[in-house]
Chain A
Amino acid sequence: MKTTLDAGLRLFVVCAVAAGTLALVYRGTQARISANQAEEKARRLRWVLPDCPQVEPRTTEGREWFLGRSEGRDCGYAIETKAKGYGGTLSLLVGVSPEGRVLGYSILSHKETPGLGDKAAKPAFQAQFKGLGLEKLRLKKDSPEGALDALTAATITSRAVTLGVREAVESVIALRAKDGTRP
């Protein structure tokens, strides 16, 4: 009995000190972690909506999106989409112009192969998407109208990014139709 109590007490003290230490570290770093995350988000939004100095968060039917404004006009929309990649879910933030053309995208998280699929985040692959509308947003090898070259040895990743971007363009078109104030 005595040794059980003693053991329990020792474990309790160690755990209490550990919890206290972690609480202190958490308090000391939390402000900076949130600031980092906010800055990261702002950086991505600037990347996908390069010509929009102001970006306002919006929610329509439970889905979050961002409206980019420039000199009192709507200059772009940004929305998050997910697609099934080679290693798991790919999540993207896609910028779309009011005409329904791709402005840019940023990969929020992915599990693609290092050295092959992760090249989808590189500017060389991204640049192909700029200015494309729905009709051309296909891989060349999948459709005669497609304008996109797949990454070498990463067709599944390339297709996933293409689908994710398509989905974003379609969502933006649908959102604009629903959001009555903005025909």
Chain B
Amino acid sequence: MKSSDWKDFTNGIVRENPIFRLLIGLCPALAVSTSAVDALGMGLATTFVLAASNGVISLLRTLIPPDLRIPIFIVVVSTFVTAADYLMLAFFPAIHRSLGVFVPLIVVNCIVLGRAEAFAYRNEVRASLLDGLGMGLGFSLALGLLGALREVFGAGTLFGLAVMPASYPPLLLLVLPPGAFLLIGLLIAGLNRFTRRAP
């Protein structure tokens, strides 16, 4: 593995993490992170779509005229989203049921179109696949962290198993939408505190 490969792969996980750094794709991140299972299911489905559409778009990039690129990106992305929808219905019906409408809505997740435009259209297939995987994993990790924290403190469970003592009163605010906003703000603030150097 070349060092540039590693850089492409980790870019989305750390330096340009979609949720914590680029602040894109926040809608699904806020909506489906009420439990760890849902959050990871959403993260993995998005990773599949990101890697696959990045790969295909990079493969076709010399054949796509610049003024046609957006409609072609959308066709490619929506094909993979629909495929992911069918595959989840067939193999993970329980997760599909709790994610509901947010699976088809991956198509409008701006990370997917954003990476197609900013990366896959200008880079080789290998680098684009790695970028898609890295971005997807970065998104999944951020979602998983949010989901786990909201589930543990908001419901007292993790992956559906009780982890808090029975006397712990669940902090309902965290499972409700405002809790997601507050928690994501706190996480970003915390990350900035530890990663950013003092001016």
Contact assessment for A36 and B63 in the assembled complex, using a CB-CB cutoff below 8 Å: no
Residues of the B chain whose Cβ atoms lie less than 8 Å from the Cβ of A33: 86, 89-90
Complex CA–CA separation, A25 to B82 (angstroms): 9
Contact A29:B68 (CB < 8 A) given known A15-B75, A114-B175: no
Contacts A14-B72, A14-B76, A25-B86 given; indicate if A113 touches B176 (C-beta within 8 A): yes
Whether A32 is near chain B, meaning CB under 8 Å from some CB there, is: yes
Provide the residues of chain A in CB contact with B76, threshold 8 Å.
14, 18
Known: A14-B72, A115-B154. A25 touches B83 (CB 8 A): yes
In the complex with contacts A7-B68, A114-B34, A115-B34, A29-B175 CB distance below 8 A: no
Say yes or no for B104: interface residue by CB 8 A criterion. no
- Can you list, as one digit per residue, whether each of A9-22 has a CB less than 8 Å from chain B (1) or not (0)? 01100110010011
Interface size bracket, A side: 20 to 34
Which B residues are in CB contact (< 8 Å) with A7?
A: 65, 67-68
Among A5-50, those with CB < 8 Å from B are 6-7, 10-11, 14-15, 18, 21-22, 25-26, 29, 32-33, 36, 40
Residue numbers of B with Cβ under 8 A of A are 34, 60, 63-65, 67-68, 71-72, 75-76, 78-79, 82-83, 86-87, 89-91, 93, 154-155, 170, 172, 175-176
Residue contact A36 to B93, C-beta cutoff 8 Å: yes
User: How far does the alpha carbon of A11 sit from the alpha carbon of B176 in the complex, in Å?
Assistant: 43
Q: Which of B67, B79, B154, B175 contacts A21 (CB 8 A)?
A: B79
Give the tally of cross-chain contacts (CB within 8 A). Answer: 59
Pairs across A and B, CB under 8 Å, 22 listed: A7-B65, A10-B63, A10-B64, A10-B72, A11-B75, A14-B72, A18-B76, A21-B83, A25-B83, A25-B87, A26-B86, A29-B87, A33-B89, A36-B90, A113-B176, A114-B34, A114-B175, A114-B176, A115-B172, A115-B175, A116-B172, A153-B172
Cα–Cα, bound, A26→B82 (Å): 9
B83 touches A22 (CB 8 A): yes
Q: Which residues of B contact A32 (CB under 8 A)?
A: 90-91
Docked-complex contact B155 and A115, CB < 8 angstroms: yes
